[in-house]
Amino acid sequence: MRQKIILDCDPGHDDAIALLLAARHPALELLAVTTVAGNQSVEKTSTNALKVCSLARVLDVPVARGMQRPLLRPARFASDIHGESGLDGPEMPVPAFPLAAQHAVDLLIELLLQSNGDIVLIPTGPLTNIAAAIRREPAIVPKIQAISLMGGAISVGNVTASAEFNIWADPEAAAIVFACGRPITMVPLEVTHQALATEDIMQRLRAMQRPVPTFVADLLHYFADSYRQVFGFSAPPLHDPCAVAAVIEPGIILTREMHVAIETQGEWTVGRTVCDIYGKTGLPANACVGYALQVERFWDLLLDTLQCYA
């Protein structure tokens, strides 16, 4: 049986590729795409999700617009990485279908309450929608089979010296999710920075000579320029598809159980994922934290899936 999933995202270049992986891999059944403010405004991330689905002919999965700002803080975007549209670079089609009538939080609650506890949530943006759903309807918590999220860092952040963007954008939401008691796989920067789209990967994508892989290569071309200018990376990291790959093949990411606390008040450390590697707090583990990626397996999995698109 295919694993049922909901992808909660803020497209975003790497979110778009995560969506393509989630929609087509045979091990997954994508029930819905929910969008959130993060890489850009929720209006833009929602439009981007519709455009990606339209391009890939993923027309039978509802796309629902979610929270437009964090729980307690003003919205902050990543225009320096993803551009003004949130998905700058290649030309995109006009959406072929509209957004779902329901708000994303309502859709999350409905799908989870109706489930048999067999849905994995894959958040690849700020955790605002997931936290809002938990606060509004606590009965969904035992219905969540697991959460595989891209976010956080064991050591160095990418938006501040301490914090990774997704957690920093809404640390209060992250604190709610990490305290929910459900199994969490945290895919941090230490893992995703190993998923570098090198020139060889770009050539493999273009050699497929198909619209969707070519679109992905065009996305990565823009993404590569952003990461070169902002971080000095030689190749762009594919953060968000790693969280999807962790559901498809759990062993593709090496993890270690530990307690993760979310810093919400520090002067210099707001949004930091405080990973208790050596058990110094005495608190029970609440997440399996990734530390290494099976790089070749990851790229084979992703490229084989993208090649399935007509």
Alpha-carbon distance 7 to 10, whole Å? Answer: 10
d(CA 150, CA 19): 13
Which residues are CB-contacts of 51 (< 8 A; sequence separation ≥ 6)?
Answer: 87, 92, 93, 94, 95
Helices (H) and strands (E) in the chain, counts: 12, 9
Task: Answer whether the bond into residue 12 is a cis peptide, omega within 30°.
Answer: yes
Per the CB < 8 A criterion, the answer to whether 180 and 141 are in contact is: yes
Residue type, 66: G
Helix (H, G, I), strand (E, B) or coil at 165: helix
Long-range contacts of 72-77 (CB under 8 A, 24+ apart): 72/172, 73/169, 73/170, 73/172, 75/37, 75/41, 75/169, 76/169, 77/37, 77/38, 77/39, 77/40, 77/41
Distances (CA, A) of 176 to 7, 42, 92, 182: 18, 21, 35, 11
Residue 214 and residue 306: Cα distance in Å, rounded?
Answer: 10
The phi, psi pair for 279, rounded to 5°, reads: 70, 30
- Smallest CA-to-CA distance from 142 within 90, 182, 85 is with 182
Contact 244, 298 (CB under 8 A): no
- One of 25, 82, 193, 239 is an active-site residue; which one? 239
Any catalytic annotation for residue 239? yes
Active site residues: 239
